[in-house]
Chains A and B, each alone.
Chain A
């Protein structure tokens, strides 16, 4: 298990290096990155200082080394608009995102997985079709629009819930639903299809031969196996959560890293955007590592191979 984690960790570092390279290349795609990194009112002095500090007067490979060296020291540039180190900005906003993502995952697990199981057990009848329709709708609705619809219904028309900004528990409801809907629908569809496969398998028959109750057969023997495809597709879900958070936080004026990303885009704040992308990649890799460990726990074939 220890070796498994170390291997995954090294794998993640390689991927991170690739991301940094891509970001570096994209920043220089248009020629001189200085224009992307300075405010419009920058003086000639600012320019020369930046050129020196990034080694932009040197050849490409030294520039890259400077870039990587700075990154390793935690320096990913300075936000043009807020004139603060981008890394600091990211970490000051990160907690606000981390308080909604787990709720969205929880929503998807608590609603999506049981609904998928129930749909599989009722294959073909009204319940299955109803759940299927909801899932199809959940996948087809873009979440920026879903957020606006929820605001319209629950804040504007009914006045039950606040339309945005952070605050008490009631402030979480709409953003969490907005962020969690796609995931819930995805979990439901995937759980249903893998449950249908598992229900046909011989070991389920043996579990019934043993005389185990249906509850144990389905929620223990079947579900644990049905979770495996869900975990293999985890990367897709995490990616969706991270991009979903950009849109959701934008709609609900939620001061997290998603909103920060949006601000970096609309204000063309390249250093901030570049930092956000690298740091989010680290975030994604950490979540993936956690899921890999969970995966190994669920499927002994992975753990012991």
Chain B
């Protein structure tokens, strides 16, 4: 058994703390523009100042503060999208797997279709029709998640259905809904948990990519993807504006993926193929 991945856990906890205590930790207001201080490099470079530890962007906003507030968006979107998308996938997986028959066929056809077409395309379309915002973003990213949850949970349920305790519950006269809720659901929660962890990285990258493409939370709210996008044009003279938030994204995704791999090996090694 692999050891507990301490470093990733520490990074995840740090970013969590950043998100929760953002107003206490941020040295500046993330939206306040101080134009006379624009495009200052991080303090350890020439021209940098300890007033802005990680430097400032083209509007003179403090990058560290925006980074800290940006963690809120990343984690909030991840939490909501995993709840909605994961929840829908979990429900569909259980219903399809347990009921079988035509319902299963139809639901699984939908899952196959969802796998064929990248959800990001529909997310972009949603942002244009519904307008940008947290709600749109959560729906969009949920579209990305539900199918893979549904497919794997269904597989688990198919195996569970054959077990004696399910037959026993049927003999006792439990209703279908009751069996699904009290006998099937608790037994797929481990898998669900592993899937949630393995998908946090997917959600964070999706959120950042959508923000980068101008389909995420609208400015001026700081998000990591938007920060990269804003710094992109200044890469030649102010590299830190685009590179620093990208490091944050990569570090967080890397950490949750490593943690997810570890958790999967612990709880549900059969999912290794994913």
Please tell me whether chains A and B touch each other in their complex, using a CB distance cut-off of 8 A.
Answer: yes
A23 lies within 8 A of B125 (CB): yes
Q: Quick check: A288 and B213 within 8 Å, CB to CB?
A: no
A104 an interface residue at 8 Å Cβ cutoff?
no
Bound-state Cα–Cα, A239 to B115, Å: 8
Question: A30-B130, A261-B124 are known contacts. Are A137 and B254 too (CB-CB below 8 A)?
Answer: yes
Q: Contacts A145-B250, A247-B213, A265-B127 given; indicate if A280 touches B235 (C-beta within 8 A).
A: no
Partner-contacting stretch, out of A63-71, A86-94, A170-178, A267-275 = A267-275
A122 within 8 A of B: no
Interface residues of A: mostly helix, strand, loop or mixed?
A: helix
- Interface size range of chain B in the complex: 35 or more
A residues in contact with B254, CB < 8 Å? 136-137, 140
- A141→B215 CA distance, assembly (Å): 20
Q: Is B232 an interface residue (CB 8 A)?
A: yes
Chain A contacts with B in 259-297, Cβ cutoff 8 A: 261-262, 264-266, 268-270, 273-274, 277, 280-281, 284-285, 288
User: B209 to A15, Cβ gap below 8 A?
Assistant: no
The answer for the CA separation of A43 and B42 in the assembled complex, in Å, is 51
A144, A156, A229 — most chain B CB neighbours (10 Å): A144
Q: CA–CA, A151 to B254, complex, Å?
A: 22
A267 to chain B, nearest CB (A): 9
Within 8 A of A (CB), among B218-238: 225, 228-229, 231-232, 235-236
Distance A38 CA – B4 CA, assembled complex (angstroms)? 57
A86 → chain B closest CB, angstroms:
13
Give the residue of A19, A26, A250, A266 whose beta carbon is less than 8 angstroms from that of B126.
A26
Q: Does the CB pair B118–A142 fall under 8 Å?
A: no
B121 touches A280 (CB 8 A): yes
Residue of B nearest to A269 (CB): B128
B116 touches A239 (CB 8 A): yes
Number of A-B residue pairs at CB separation under 8 A: 131
Pick from B128, B212, B246: contact of A247, CB under 8 Å: B212
Q: A15-B113, A18-B113 are in contact. Are A250 and B122 (CB under 8 A)?
A: no
Complex CA–CA separation, A262 to B257 (angstroms): 28
Residue ID in chain B nearest A148 by CB atoms: B242
For residue B121, which residues in chain A have a CB less than 8 angstroms away from its CB?
242-243, 261, 277, 280-281
Provide the bound-state CA to CA distance between A229 and B249, in Å: 29
Asked if B54 is at the interface (CB within 8 A of a chain A CB), the reply is: no
Residue of A nearest to B239 (CB): A152
Given known contacts A148-B242, A229-B273, A277-B121, A236 and B209 CB-to-CB distance under 8 angstroms: no
Does B118 lie within 8 Å of A243, measured CB to CB? yes
Q: Tell me the interface secondary structure of chain B in the complex.
A: helix
**A152 contacts which chain B residues (CB < 8 A)?**
235, 239, 242-243
Interface bits A32-51 vs B (CB < 8 Å: 1, else 0): 00001000000000000000
Is A145 in contact with B116, judged by CB distance below 8 angstroms?
A: no
State whether B118 touches A151 (Cβ < 8 A): no
- Whether B117 pairs with A281 at a CB distance below 8 angstroms is yes
Given contacts A235-B115, A239-B117, A284-B117, contact A140 B201 (CB under 8 A): yes
Decide: B130 and A277 in contact? CB cutoff 8 A. Answer: no
Ordered nearest first, which 8 A-B pairs have the shortest CB separation?
A: A145-B246, A239-B118, A140-B254, A140-B253, A243-B120, A266-B214, A243-B118, A144-B212
Interface, chain B (partner A; CB < 8 A): 113, 115-118, 120-122, 124-130, 201, 205, 208-209, 212-215, 225, 228-229, 231-232, 235-236, 239, 242-243, 246, 249-250, 253-254, 257-258, 272-273
Which residues of A are at the interface with B, using a C-beta cutoff of 8 A?
A: 15, 18-19, 22-23, 26-27, 29-30, 36, 136-137, 139-142, 144-145, 148-149, 151-152, 156, 193, 229, 235-236, 239-240, 242-243, 246-247, 250-251, 261-262, 264-266, 268-270, 273-274, 277, 280-281, 284-285, 288
What are 29 A-to-B residue pairs whose CB atoms are below 8 Å? A15-B117, A19-B117, A26-B122, A29-B129, A36-B129, A140-B250, A141-B250, A142-B250, A144-B208, A144-B225, A144-B229, A148-B235, A149-B246, A152-B239, A156-B236, A193-B273, A229-B273, A239-B116, A240-B118, A242-B118, A243-B209, A247-B212, A261-B121, A265-B127, A265-B215, A266-B214, A274-B125, A281-B121, A288-B116
* Given A137-B250, A142-B205, A284-B117, 5 more pairs with CB closer than 8 A: A139-B257, A140-B253, A236-B115, A247-B213, A261-B121
